[in-house]
Amino acid sequence: MNPLAKDAKSQGRLIAEPELLSAVLAHPLHPLPLLVSSGATSSRCAGDGLWTLDLRQRFRKFRYRETSSLVTIGTGLTMAEVLEGLSPYQRALPIGLSGLPGSGFLLTGGMGPLSRVHGLAMDHIQRIQGVWGNGEPFNLHRDDITTDARIASCWRGLLGAAPFLGVVTELDLETDPVVPLAVLQQRISVEALPNWIRSSERWPNSASFQWSWGDHLEAYAVEALADGGPSAVLRSVAGNAPERCVDQLSLPGFGRLTSDQHPAPFHCEVLGRLGEHWGDQAEAVVACLREPMMRRPHSACRISAQQLGGATGAVSAASTSFIHRDAVWKPWITAAWAPGDLVGRERALDWMNHVSEVLMALNPGVHLAQLHDHLPSHGQELKDAFGSWLPSLQQLKTELDPDQRLCRL
């Protein structure tokens, strides 16, 4: 579990059978909001004085259908468990930089090294089953959104904003063939980062660039080898030969080269922004980040980014709650502090907000992979995440979760 959530003075965990979930959500439970744990990597899967609905024991369904290449999963499974279940069939989903997250990864977007070639993980969803915040069950299918405006609105709300509206318990997802991957992971100088950024913006969709800046700056590039042959992109971008991996779970850990030492336990919050091409502005972006990086309040504070574009922009911005389909970069900020250090926490959050302001000009959007309804920045993050769709989303909230049982919107 996320260390911050693990150390929270939680009211307790609710482990409900599927048939009792509607009753749990309809019950006048206090205090609110009710938090949800699936993969449990979010800082808000548990909180001081709040109840957590834990899906990890009772919602573990897995069924793959070879005739349709669809997989049905319970939302108590992690992304690693889903890929392991698909492995015998040589099928996969595009996951993120770790296999630890659960269904929250899918329902808030689902970005990773293969997003440029396979799209967001969220775009693979074909059916969504669960219970609205008011206790009413639902079972929506993508095929129904073209014939029913109400279903279309609910579908759009769930894809990107599900944590505000209901508890999702089961998903049907399209799968992709497993392909081998080439990965290049190395430390680079800060001065070299703008060239990497500009170069990667010219790469084909089969390749993506990620970087993480802590004590050191790590470059992490991944290429999907659709024909199984040698790398066509990564072998030409650096002196080191890329490593070959059989699948996503075999990729080396992202960020492991940013420090020479294993960090002591820490708590953290993460804020992700979204923006278009950096191009000729890459030097300016990196230059603006130098100053906050020199005054990090904790050694685990870092700035990272991953590349989008390609297939992620092929879906209409109006079809899901993830409206930033023109995004090419997702930089994210990790604010860290020692457990129990309240002064350090405030300094880290102030640092995170400062870096966010620095990035805002070229990255005006927000990706709500982590929920911050407990922080003062929550209201602005909602506006930056959902834009003009937010009022309609808030109206859905009043209809589907009128008592605000789930995260406030």
* Residue 164 in domain: yes
Last residue of a domain, one of 157, 178, 199: 178
pLDDT of residue 294: 96
Mean pLDDT within 162-175: 97
CA dist 97 and 101 (Å) reads 10
Number of domains in the chain: 3
The verdict on 212 and 322 lying in the same domain is: yes
Contacts of 314 (CB under 8 A, 6+ apart): 119
pLDDT of residue 352: 98
The verdict on 314 and 202 lying in the same domain is: yes
* Residue 403 in domain: no
Alpha helix positions (H), 10-77? 21-26
* Residue 397 in domain: no
Mean pLDDT within 277-299: 96
The verdict on 46 and 134 lying in the same domain is: no
Last residue of a domain, one of 143, 178, 213: 178
The verdict on 272 and 348 lying in the same domain is: yes
Mean pLDDT within 44-52: 94
For a pLDDT cut of 90, what percent of the chain falls above it? 90
The verdict on 279 and 291 lying in the same domain is: yes
The verdict on 159 and 279 lying in the same domain is: no
The verdict on 155 and 240 lying in the same domain is: no
pLDDT of residue 36: 94
CA dist 401 and 409 (Å) reads 10
CA dist 50 and 58 (Å) reads 20
The verdict on 24 and 133 lying in the same domain is: no
Residue 101 has pLDDT above 70, yes or no: yes
Mean pLDDT within 105-110: 96
- For strand 125-132 and strand 181-188, is the pairing parallel, antiparallel, or unpaired? unpaired
The verdict on 299 and 192 lying in the same domain is: yes
pLDDT of residue 326: 97
Return mean pLDDT, the chain.
Answer: 95
The verdict on 68 and 38 lying in the same domain is: no
The verdict on 375 and 235 lying in the same domain is: yes
Q: Is 32 helix (H, G, I), strand (E, B) or coil?
A: coil
Taking each helix axis as running N to C, give the angle between helix 282-294 and helix 342-360, from 0 to 180 degrees, rounded to the nearest 10: 170
Contacts of 337 (CB under 8 A, 6+ apart): 266, 267, 268, 297, 298, 344, 345, 347, 348
In this prediction, residue 402 has a pLDDT band, given cuts at 50, 70 and 90, of very high
Residue 144 has pLDDT above 70, yes or no: yes
Q: Which domain holds residue 230?
A: 181-388
Residue 239 has pLDDT above 70, yes or no: no
* Residue 398 in domain: no
Q: What is the CATH number of the domain that holds 198?
A: 3.40.462.20
Number of helices (H) and strands (E) in the chain: give both, helices first.
11, 18
pLDDT of residue 229: 83
* Winning range, highest mean pLDDT, from 9-23, 253-267, 269-283: 269-283
pLDDT in tens, 266-283: 999 999 999 999 999 999
* Residue 372 in domain: yes
pLDDT of residue 146: 87
Q: What is the CATH number of the domain that holds 84?
A: 3.30.465.10
pLDDT of residue 238: 66
The verdict on 266 and 350 lying in the same domain is: yes
Mean pLDDT within 245-265: 93
Q: What is the 3-state secondary structure (H, E, C) of 42-55?
A: CCCCCCCCCEEEEC
CA dist 405 and 134 (Å) reads 8
* Residue 401 in domain: no
pTM value is 0.95
* Residue 394 in domain: no
* Residue 402 in domain: no
